[in-house]
Amino acid sequence: MAMGKNNTSVLSECAQIPADGHSYTTVRLKLADYAGQVVSLRLKGLGSFDPHVKERRINVPVGDNGEAQVPVYAPRRPGRCLISGPGFKHRIDFKAATWLQGLVFEWVPTLGLSLVIALALRTFAFASHFIPSPSMCNTLVPGDLFFAEKFSYRVLHQEPQFGEIVLFKHPTAKGAPWIKRVIGLPGDTIAVRDGVVYRNGEALSEDYISEKPWRDFPELTVPADQYFMMGDNRNHSCDSRSWGCLPRENVLGRATAVFWPPEHMRVLQRVDQTGDQNSAPGC
């Protein structure tokens, strides 16, 4: 029994009303303060006070005992209505009358909303990806599945940091996203000499790479809003040494953790200038 203000309550109604367009429920009200009077009630949402037309308001006589009865007719689709009057509000739910009606008006919207949320999460929050090549060995090997966190870059507009493993769209090649490590930030100078990578004239200590690079690379200054990307498998990686620096707008997310296969499960860490590993922000 739903209670309202002014000694108003809902005594009874039908609990399950099929949304077939003709079923109805009689709502019994207790309006003690309005005995012998006429009260005005209003309906919002689906349903009607009349079986033939969509009637949203009704005047109801209240008996000397303070009780009144209000018929509410079902719509032709599932949903709900809200009856309001002096001192009370009361909700009535209309259930699907057939399985097809339930599919169209309940399951399809629910699945559609779930899909929208999933797409939004994949676009702006998290996504899983597959490592197809050995370019990031030994950090990431072919067959690894990892999570990429996108919220920091795409929503909070944080900038990639040196040493982070970044998922991105290739500047020219179409297809699946690429993944490399950030070696140069905007304004940095990058060079490779005698198997050593130099950033701003300082040799990087890179214990995480597969092997030292065989080829030298002439000094380059990273342009504004761009990044110099390199694979950890330096001699088997197509990266910024081949196709140039990566525009900021192509950055998709940061690799945060490997979740498959089980023996490779771990949190991915970025490295600092000395090669020491640090937990990536947000991990």
One domain for residues 67 and 130: no
How many residues are given for the chain? Answer: 283
Question: Does residue 115 belong to any structural domain of this protein?
Answer: no
Tell me what pLDDT residue 280 has: 38
Domain extent, residue 74, equals: 2-95
- The number of folded domains in the chain is 2
In CATH, what number is assigned to the domain containing residue 89? Answer: 2.60.40.10
Q: Is residue 105 a part of any domain in this protein?
A: no
pTM of the complete model: 0.59
pLDDT of residue 230: 97
Asked, for residue 110, whether it belongs to a domain, the answer is: no
Confidence of residue 3 (pLDDT cuts 50, 70, 90): very low
pLDDT at 2 exceeding the cut of 60 = no
Q: Does 117 reside within a domain?
A: no
Of residues 281 and 94, the one with the higher pLDDT is: 94
Residues 6 or more apart whose CB falls under 8 angstroms from that of 94 comprise: 17, 18, 19, 46, 47, 74, 75, 77, 78, 79, 80, 81
Higher pLDDT, 281 or 84: 84
Q: Which of 78-87, 108-117, 259-268 has the lowest mean pLDDT?
A: 108-117
Tokens of 138: 């030994």
d(CA 266, CA 280): 12
Give per-residue pLDDT as tens, 217-245: 999 999 999 999 999 999 999 999 999 99
Q: Across the chain, what does the average pLDDT equal?
A: 85
User: Residue 164 belongs to a domain with what CATH number?
Assistant: 2.10.109.10
Choose the most confident range, by mean pLDDT, from 5-14, 141-150, 182-191. 182-191
* Same domain, yes or no: 246 and 152: yes
* Catalytically active residues, by annotation: 135, 180
Contacts of 99 (CB under 8 A, 6+ apart): none
